[in-house]
Amino acid sequence: MDTGAVIAFLAEVPKLDRDIDDATRIDVLRALEEVKAACAGAQARVTADLDASIRAERADRNVPLPQRGRGIANQVALARRDSPFRGGRHLGMATALVHEMPCTLALLERGLLSEWRATILVRETACLTREDRTAIDYLLCGDPATLDGLGDQAVCAKVRAAAAEVDAEAVVRRARKAVSDRRVTSRPAPDTMAYVSALLPVAQGVAVHATLARDADSILAAGDERTRSQIMADLLVSRVTGTHHTATTPPITVNLVISDRALLDNGSEPAHVQGYGPVPAELAGHWISEAVQAAIDPDTGDATRVNLRRLYANPQSGALTATESQARCFPAGLARLIDLRDRTCRTPWCDAPIRHHDHIQPRESEGPTTAHNGAGLCAACNYAKQGAGWNATPHQLPGGLHHIEVYTPTGHRYRSTAPPLPKPLPFHELQTDSPVERILIEFLNAA
């Protein structure tokens, strides 16, 4: 089956007959689930073949061994419209299934094992040798009935038990190594909230939660009107930020981009919090008013500092105005401008935080250090871009949004477009009695 046949099959899927009885609908659901799994198996084989082919071609060109795999995961991610991080997972899973776990792959291709449960099998055997991994693969997936009817947690427990029985020392080593992976991350949550997650050794993680729960119970017993969960969250914030009250304005920098229209003229265009995403204009305006009011009111005793910075955007497109620099490294001001323009990594489908400020046209090829030739990238995407065959070109029409054309070693092209800024308010005088709004208007009208 070639690409044309796959595309033709895809075109037929939406044409499934819907005038059927419920029993047939259940059968169709089951068949479609098996098709999804079979497609995941086919993707694994194609991905492993791509990896082997690129590595072999680079070996023929005497590319150093550590560099032969550079950028392959990124190509997989772009093809699957996924982030580079997940592209690496797809690649690792594919090579493990094809070269070390043939029984798991066979069940996946037959639609008898979901892609996620295949992922669990690959993940929980990653610490084993190739021989031990293949042995567990045959033990658990040689007979389809072994895992039939088991849920995700049951499959995970069964694989872990088998791995511990085959090589207990490897499992122990993995657990010890996992301590080095401890970290704290944050990601957006619905309703202008955020998830802050900590990956800790089990003893420390349990201790943190138990301490917060114990202290919350004490506060709750004293008659506090908050719920137990709210108290635990407030305790976490106050102890991490060093404040001793319910923290609403932690002493850190939060970059918020909002248009003057939304701030001063009841505009509805959302604001953007760097590292989070869009927030309602009314809520952002409330935050700013509170912060400015605290800064100008000596009776509050609040140490909040409010720094305002003008950003100039095209009124039609929302494109951020660029600045020039002749330096090799991006100066702080220019780097900040790129951060505000790009918001996250500019690689298509990658929304990782910006870690590097990259010259789109490399500096060694006389690429200038400008906003037009600059891009915010995560570390993984920047390193992948250095691989053989990768290329990128910046484009920006006058007053238009910033575009990057990304070309992969296989000749495929992908476009990345910077998000627009909030549209600015046409200049006019605003009359207000609010001291907060007067400060903001004076700042916006300053030369």
Segment 146-174, tens digit of pLDDT: 998 888 888 888 888 888 888 888 777 77
Q: How confident is the model at residue 335 (pLDDT cuts 50, 70, 90)?
A: confident
- Determine, yes or no, domain membership for 234: yes
- Determine, yes or no, domain membership for 248: no
Question: Can you tell me whether residue 234 is helix, strand or coil?
Answer: helix
- Determine, yes or no, domain membership for 317: no
How many structural domains is the chain composed of? 4
Closest CA to 134 of 112, 101, 181, 103: 101
**Among residues 157, 178, 199, which one ends one of the domains?**
178
403 dihedral zone (left: phi>0; alpha: psi -120 to 50; beta): beta
Looking at the fold, whether 82 and 153 belong to one and the same domain comes out as yes
Residues 6+ away with beta carbon under 8 Å from 258: 271, 272, 281, 284, 285, 288, 422
Q: Which residue bears the tokens 């990956």?
A: 199
- Determine, yes or no, domain membership for 323: no
pLDDT computed for residue 325 by the predictor: 47
For residue 116, the Cα-to-chain-centroid distance in whole angstroms is 19
Looking at the fold, whether 36 and 119 belong to one and the same domain comes out as yes
Angle, vertex CA 102, rays to CA 133 and CA 83, nearest 5:
85
Q: Which of 30-34, 254-258, 310-314, 315-319 has the highest mean pLDDT?
A: 30-34
142 versus 263: which is more confidently predicted? Answer: 142
Segment 46-70, tens digit of pLDDT: 999 999 999 999 999 999 998 899 9
Looking at the fold, whether 266 and 149 belong to one and the same domain comes out as no
Looking at the fold, whether 151 and 285 belong to one and the same domain comes out as no
Read off the tokens for 352.
């990782």
- Residue 93's CB is within 10 A of a number of other CB atoms, namely 24
Q: 276 pLDDT exceeds 90?
A: no
The proportion of the chain whose per-residue pLDDT surpasses 90, expressed as a percent, equals 34
Give the lowest-confidence range in 274-278, 293-297, 371-375, 400-404. 293-297
- Determine, yes or no, domain membership for 321: no
- Determine, yes or no, domain membership for 318: no
Looking at the fold, whether 38 and 107 belong to one and the same domain comes out as yes
Question: pTM to 2 decimals?
Answer: 0.68
**Among residues 178, 199, 229, which one ends one of the domains?**
178
Backbone torsions φ then ψ of 194, nearest 5 degrees: -145, 145
Looking at the fold, whether 428 and 408 belong to one and the same domain comes out as no
Looking at the fold, whether 237 and 260 belong to one and the same domain comes out as no
Looking at the fold, whether 302 and 428 belong to one and the same domain comes out as yes
Q: 441 pLDDT exceeds 70?
A: no
Q: How confident is the model at residue 110 (pLDDT cuts 50, 70, 90)?
A: very high
Q: 302 pLDDT exceeds 60?
A: no
Question: Can you tell me whether residue 193 is helix, strand or coil?
Answer: strand
For residue 392, the Cα-to-chain-centroid distance in whole angstroms is 22
- Determine, yes or no, domain membership for 123: yes
The C-alpha torsion from 24 through 30 and 31 to 34, rounded to 10°, is 180
Residue span of the structural domain in which 292 resides = 256-311+424-445
Q: How confident is the model at residue 80 (pLDDT cuts 50, 70, 90)?
A: very high
**Among residues 241, 269, 289, which one ends one of the domains?**
241
